[in-house]
Amino acid sequence: MMNSNEVLDRLKAGNERFVVDKLDAKLQDSSRRSSLTGGQEPYAIVLSCADSRVVPELAFDTGLGEIFVVRVAGNIANSSSIASIEYAVAHIGSPVIVVLGHESCGAVTAAVGGGDNGYNLNHLLGHITPAIAASDDDASVNDVVKKNAQLTAEELKSRSAIIRDAVNSGKLKIVPAYYNLGSGKVDFL
């Protein structure tokens, strides 16, 4: 298993290939599928927005079994997303979590806009409210997206003993990041 710095280097290199349209597209065939039937060993966990324009497997040029992706609107840390990440931390040992926000996020835009969006969406948007509160009054949606990724990275530690213990023991690094829609570039914050 790679260490956290090696994982981040690999993710950055994959993103560079994605940005310049030079995808390796490796580990995506029937032999790779067969090799994974006995288990998985992804080297990174990505908490990403559900937005169809943001596809972590492509943005980091990864193949089957390389990254463990959890997707939820606004890349929020709710009980289900945290539990999924805890599984990957405790049972797989992935050394990196990337919290991936993105440009023009609809969930953040809705949270900033306020109003009643119905029970379920209001509940989800409540997870983004701390990022709005921690941002300047004239902050853009994209500024709030970045603040949300940073606060979500902290929230993963504060709400999960499994994640916190892995970070404190040096086995896990959590990195907030921001995906630029037009270029495909991921900025690690």
pLDDT tens, position by position, 115-150: 999 999 999 999 999 999 999 999 999 999 999 999
Count of structural domains, the chain = 1
On whether the CB atoms of residues 93 and 1 are closer than 8 A, the answer is yes
CATH of residue 102: 3.40.1050.10
**How much is the pTM?**
0.97
- Give residue 108's pLDDT: 98
The answer to the question of residue 29 being in a domain is no
- Is residue 33 included in any domain, yes or no? no
Residue 32 lies in a domain: no
For residue range 155-181, list pLDDT tens digits in order.
Answer: 999 999 999 999 999 999 999 999 999
The three-class DSSP label of residue 74 is helix
State the Cα–Cα distance between residues 145 and 188, nearest whole angstrom.
Answer: 13
Residue that the structure tokens 């959890």 belong to: 70
The three-class DSSP label of residue 99 is: strand
Let me know if residue 34 belongs to a domain.
Answer: no
Answer for the pair 99, 156: CB distance below 8 angstroms, yes or no: yes
What pLDDT score does 168 carry? 98
- Asked whether residue 63 is domain-assigned, the answer is yes
| Pair of tokens at residue 169 | 């023991």
Tens digits of residue pLDDT in 79-113: 999 999 999 999 999 999 999 999 999 999 999 99
30 part of a folded domain: no
Does 68 reside within a domain?
yes
At 123 the pLDDT is: 96
Domain boundaries, position 83: 4-23+40-188
Is the distance from CB of 96 to CB of 45 less than 8 angstroms? yes
